[in-house]
Amino acid sequence: MNDGKEEQLLVLSRWPLYPEYFGFSDFSMGLNELWPEQRESLPPTDSRLRPDVRQLEDGNLDKAVAYKQELEKAQRARAIDEEKHKPLWFTQKEDNAKFEQQKKDNAFIPIFNVSITS
């Protein structure tokens, strides 16, 4: 029956608003959400692509910790092998299109390419 009054019938939320979420809003809980169509436009160093972050976002704390430990171990190994840091993309030049060329050539270093044993 339409009597001119508005009535709220349904409120949709992607995440339940439980106290365990520390009072976070839908917006704040969705900040690390990664949509499939975003993947191709993100640089491989985007933190949303980290396997430990993905596991943490999915509620798999044990796997998140294991991935984080493996990432840190791989990072320490790279630090031993590397010479002095040389920026790949952000050097001050007139025309420096290294990032776009590496993206086009798919020539990024796979820094999140680790595996864990269950």
Number of domains in the chain: 1
Distances (CA, A) of 57 to 76, 91, 100, 106: 25, 34, 29, 27
Whether residue 48 lies inside any domain: the answer is: yes
> 62 burial class (0-12, 13-18, 19+ CB within 10 angstroms)?
exposed
Whether residue 102 lies inside any domain: the answer is: yes
- The pLDDT score that the predictor gives to residue 113 is 80
Whether residue 69 lies inside any domain: the answer is: yes
- Residue 34: how many other CB atoms lie within 10 Å: 14
Could you list the residue range(s) of the whole structural domain that residue 70 is in? 44-83+98-111
Whether residue 93 lies inside any domain: the answer is: no
pTM of the complete model beyond 0.85: no
Q: pLDDT by residue (tens digit) across 87-116? A: 777 766 666 667 778 888 888 878 888 777
Q: pLDDT by residue (tens digit) across 41-75? A: 888 888 888 999 888 888 889 999 999 999 999 98
Q: What's the distance, Cα to Cα, between the start and end of the chain in Å?
A: 58
Alpha-carbon torsion (21, 27, 32, 36), positive or negative: positive
Whether residue 16 lies inside any domain: the answer is: no
Whether residue 19 lies inside any domain: the answer is: no
Answer yes or no: are the C-beta atoms of 62 and 118 closer than 8 Å. no
Whether residue 9 lies inside any domain: the answer is: no
As a whole number of angstroms, the distance between CA 113 and CA 110 comes to 5
